[in-house]
Amino acid sequence: MSKENHYIDNDKFFTEMCKWKDQVIEAEEQGESRPPVTEYIGECFLKISEKLSHRPNFVNYPYREEMVSDGIENCLMYAHNFNPEKSKNPFSYFTQMIYYAFLRRIEREKKQSYVKFKLMEENDDGTFSKWFKENFFDKSFSQKDVADFFSLSETDIENFDTTKKKKKKKDANSNNK
């Protein structure tokens, strides 16, 4: 039986991570800055992030490239936390890290889309709300319909409601006078 070909050799990845981790520990003991990851480790981060971004639950987002970048950035920032004594599977460790970076990016983008929607709604002369209603809802739409459309919870809406924030600022300014 031959070993299956995968896009990353986990044994080699583990060996490279162990070597790099030893360099990190040595640099910290000498009070030096952390050495950069090797080219091979960087390639692995890129391959994992790219491959994960092509899964069906991530592939159709218009900001897929930002998701990939976030995943790689998280790997580079927290690679030193990988502990070879706890896990012999760096592929799994970094895949999880990238997966959660993707989820955080999606959440940020959804909230940003909602904020854009609310700003357009506030400055609307009637054409935007008419277009939005005609294209996305059958009858008149409520705040809940909009929240469902952007996959946001009520807490998210409260946190990103621009009208409430403006009132808070005005109230705070009037108290100072």
Q: Which residue has the tokens 């909009």?
A: 146
Tokens of 81: 């936390």
Report CA 107 to chain centroid distance, whole Å.
Answer: 7
In the chain, where are the structural domains located? Answer: 7-107, 124-177
pLDDT digits (tens, 9 = 90+) for 128-153: 767 776 776 655 666 666 677 777 77
pLDDT above 90: residue 125: no
In the structure, what pLDDT confidence band is assigned to residue 116 with cuts at 50, 70 and 90? confident
DSSP category for residue 42: H
CA atoms within 13 A on the CB side of 161: 13
The confidence score (pLDDT) of residue 1 equals: 42
Report CA 104 to chain centroid distance, whole Å.
Answer: 3
Residue 2 phi/psi, 5° resolution?
A: -95, 155
Q: Which residue has the tokens 């003991």?
A: 29
Q: How is 122-170 classified by DSSP, letter by letter?
A: HT--SHHHHHHHHHH-SS---HHHHHHHTT--HHHHHHH-HHHHHHHHH
The mean pLDDT value of the chain amounts to: 83
Task: List all residues 6 or more positions away from 162 whose beta carbon is below 8 Å from its beta carbon.
Answer: 115, 118, 119, 122
Are the C-beta atoms of 128 and 146 separated by less than 8 Å?
no
pLDDT digits (tens, 9 = 90+) for 83-107: 999 999 999 999 999 999 999 999 8
